[in-house]
Structure 1
Amino acid sequence: MKTGWFWPLYGDADEVVFTYSNSRGRAHIEEVLSESFSGTLISDGYAAYARYAAAQESVTHAQCWVHGRRYFIEAQKDHPETVTNALQQIAKVYRNEEAIKTQGLTGEKKRQYRLDHSKPVVSDFFQWCRDQLAQGGLVPSDPLTKALNYVLGREASLTVFLENPDVQPDTNHLERALRPIPMGKKNWMFCWTELGAEHLGIIQSLISTCKLHDINPYTYLVDVLQRVSQHPASDVSDLTPRLWKTRFAENPLRALIDPRHPDRQNKQPEATVHAH
C-alpha cells in the first residue's frame, strides 16, 4: 500500500481544489503554483510553503494566527497564567476582526482599522514574547519556549494581514472547506490506485466549491455530465462551479427521472380506463 496526501488550495474567489501528491515535498507546491503565481500565499506553518515563497520574488507569504495559538494552548498546563495572557492578547486581534465584520468595512477602511486597532496589539504581543524569552528560566524543550519561538520566527508572515485587507489572519476558511477529506479518510484508504485518489480529489473539489457558492451539487453534476459532451473544450472553465452558476444555473439540464425535465413536463397524461 502507498501513502498519499491531498494539498488543498483555496482561491480568493471562494474555490477550493484538493490536489493529490505522493509526497509532502516542496516540489508539489512548485508544480501546482508554478513560477507564474504572484500575490499572497496564506498557509499554516509547514516549512515547505515558506521555502517556496522565499524563492519567489512575486509571492508574499502570510501565516496563520490560529496555528500559532495552538502552540500556546499546548503550554497552558505548565504555564497557565503566562499562556492566558498570550491568549487574551491574541483574542484582541479577533475582536477587532469581528468589529470589522460588524461594521461592514472593506478595502482601505478595513486596512486603516487594522492599522489603528490591531497593529498596536500585534506589536505589543511580539515584544511581550521577546521579553518572556529574555527573562530566562525556560529550557528549549519547554512547550512555552516552542510557542514563543514559533510565533517570533514567523513575525513577518503573521503581520501581513495588517497591511492587506484581502488577507485573513488565519486559514480557518480553508479548514472548514477541507473537512470532507479528513471526515472520509477511512474511505480514502481504499482508492486502490493513485489515479483513483487523484480523481477523488477532483470530485471533492467540485462538490466543496459548489457548497461555497450555494449550488446544489446534485443539480450541478447532473447538468455538467450531460453538457460536457457538447461544450467547447476551449471553454471548459465555464463548467467549473463558480462560472457555471452565472451561465447555466438558471436553466440547468435535468435528469430524465427528474419531474422538472422538459420531456416529462410536456408529456400528456395517459387516459385511464376502468373495465368491469
Structure 2
Amino acid sequence: MPILAKGKTATGHIWTYIRDDRPFGGTSPPAALYYASRDRRQDHPERRLQDFTGILQADAYSGYNTLYDPSRAQGPITPALCWAHARRQFFELADIAANARRGKKAPSISPVALEAVKRIDALFDIERGINGLHAQQRLAARKERSAPLLTKLEEWLRDECSRLSRSASVAKPIDYMLRRWGGFARFIEDGRICLTNNAAERALRGFALGRKSWLFAGSERGAARAAAMATLIMTAKLNDVEPQAWLADVLARIADTPQNRLQELLPWNWQPRQILMASAASTARGTVPPTAEDLRPSQGLRLVHRVCNQPLPMQTIRHIPIEALPGASLIVQRQPKQRQDRIIDLVRVDLHPPNLAQIARLPRPRPDGYQVPIDSSRAEKPVVVLDPTLVYDREQTAEGINADDPFVTHRPATQLQPLSCWPGHP
C-alpha cells in the first residue's frame, strides 16, 4: 500500500493475520486482523505475536525466524510452510499455456518442474477430500495416504538435486523446499494444519484490488485506520455477515450497550436489531420470531413467506415493514437501474397521524443493505409505510391526508392483510 510522504509516496506494507478453524471442523469463529507499517522489518511480527504460542502458517520470510527460536521466552511458535508458494515456483517453469503465449521467446518447459507439479497436486487432491473433517480424521487420512507420497517426493527431490547443475532454473525451487523440509512436512504431524496459507492470501485480495481504485494512504495514521476498517469488514465476511448492515447496526447500538455485553456485537454473535425487537414481541405473544438467516440480503421475500405461511403476489406487495410493530416505519427508495428498491432506513413514528412532510425531510439515512423487490414496472417515488393498515403513495387521494402535501397520499391497505401474521402485529 503506497503511503503519502514528503513530495512522494513510500511503499507501505499490510500485515495479515487470519484465524480460520473451519477446514478442520474447529469451533472458534474465523477472524481477520490487519496492521499497516512503512517497512517489513522483523520487529513487526515479533511485537504483534509476542504473546502467541501455537502454529504459524506463512511463507518462508526470514523475519519470522526469531518466533521459531526454542529459547523464546513465551515458548516457540511452530512453523508450517505454504505448499502453494513452493508449487508456484515449479509451475512457472512448467506453464505450457504461458509459454505458448510468449511464442519464440519462451523458455523450454522443464520436465523436472512438470513432474514436481504433478506430485504436489496429488497431495492437494487428498486435501480436497478431507477438507472440513475433524482434525483427528484429517490426520489419520494423511498418515495413510499423504505420508507415502510425501516420502517419495522428498527422495525424488533429493535425487534430482544431486544430478542438477546449480545454475539450472529448477534447482532454485528444489533447494527452497529441501532447506525447509521440516516446515513443509509439518502437516503430516497435526490435522489442524492446512497445506497452504491461502486464507491469508485471499484476505489480502481486497487491498490488491483496491490499489487500482485509490492512489495512496494519506499518512501512517490513515493506513492504520484503513487496516482497522479492513479488519472489521473481513471478519464480518468470514462469518457470513453483510458488513454494511453489521456496521450500521453496531454503530447505532454500541453507545447504549453495557461493556459486559459488547461481545454480543461481534460478528459471530451479532443479531440485527430487527430480530431482537421481533423476538421480544413474539415472546410476549408466543409466536416464532424470524432468524438471522431470514434477513440475509439475498433472501428477498423469504421472511414474508416464512412468517405468513403463504405466498404474497408481487403485484400486491408494494413494500414490507421489517419491524411489524406499532409505530414502526419503513422508507423505501427507488433505484431504477437495478429495478429494485433498497430499504434505506428504519424510523419510529409516534405521531398519529404522522407528519409525512416531516418524515420526507429526515436526516440523511444510513443504508442497511437489506433489499426487498417490488413491482418493477411502476416507477413511483419514495414510498413510506407508516402503519400496517395504511399504504401511502402518490397515486390516490382520500380524506384524512393534506391534499396539498406533494409527497404522499394514502389508500387502505386491504391487500396487505397477510401482514397481520407477522410476529408482534397487534
Q: TM-score range by the shorter chain?
A: 0.7 to 0.9
Answer yes or no: is the 8 Å Cα contact 2:58–2:82 preserved in 1.
Answer: yes
Structure-2 residue corresponding to 1:44: 59
What SS is found at the alignment partner of 1:58?
coil
Match status 1:85 vs 2:115: yes
Tell me which residue corresponds to 1:223.
249
Question: How big is each residue's C-alpha offset from its partner over 1:238-268, in whole Å with a ceiling of 9 and x where there is no partner?
Answer: 43322335x978438x998557726169944
The residue type equivalent to 1:59 in the other structure is: I
TM-score, structure 1 as length reference:
0.86
1:7 to 1, 15, 18: 15
Q: TM-score, normalised by structure 2?
A: 0.57
Shift, 1:132, TM fit = 0.8
Distance 2:246 2:11 in 1: 31
In structure 2, the CA distance between the partners of 1:46 and 1:236, relative to structure 1 (3 Å rule), is farther
- The separation in 2 between residues aligned to 1:68 and 1:256, in whole angstroms, is 54
Q: Does 2:158 correspond to 1:143? A: no
Distance 1:249 1:61 in 2: 44
Contact 1:14/1:212 (8 A) holds in 2? yes
Deviation at 1:272, TM superposition (A): 3.0
- Structure number with the higher strand fraction is 2
The runs of 5 or more residues in structure 2 that have no matched partner are: 21-28, 95-106, 278-322, 324-328, 332-342, 350-383, 393-399, 405-426
Could you tell me how far 1:226 is from its partner in structure 2? 1.4
Q: Report the identity percentage.
A: 27
Distance 1:232 1:274, change over 3 A: closer
Mapped to 2, the partners of 1:211 and 1:62 lie a distance apart of 25
In the other structure, the counterpart of 1:69 is: 87
Deviations along 1:112-162, one digit per CA (max 9) or x if unpaired, are 1101100111111111111111114x124x321110011111111111111
Aligned 8 A contact 2:110 2:170 in 1: no
Superposition map of 1:34-183 within 5 A:
34=50, 36-54=51-69, 56=72, 57-76=75-94, 77-101=107-131, 105-136=133-164, 138-140=165-167, 142-183=168-209
Change (3 A) 1:249 1:54: farther
Residue 39 of structure 2: SS of its match in structure 1?
Answer: coil
Match of 1:208 among 229, 234, 240: 234
Q: Does the CA contact (< 8 Å) of 1:43 and 1:171 recur in 2?
A: yes
State the SS of the aligned residue for 2:255: coil
Q: 1:234 to 1:198 in 2, by over 3 A?
A: farther
Shift of 1:273: 5.2
Query: Per-residue deviation at 1:78?
Result: 4.3
Where do residues 23-38 of structure 1 align in structure 2 (5 Å cutoff)?
23-34=39-50, 36-38=51-53
Counterpart residue identity of residue 182, structure 1: A
Q: Which runs of 5+ in 1 are unaligned?
A: none
Does residue 272 of structure 2 align to residue 272 of structure 1?
A: no
Amino acid at match of 2:85: H
Structure 1 pair 234–274 and aligned structure 2 pair: CA distance change class (3 A) = closer
Number of positions where the alignment pairs a residue of Structure 1 with one of Structure 2 = 269
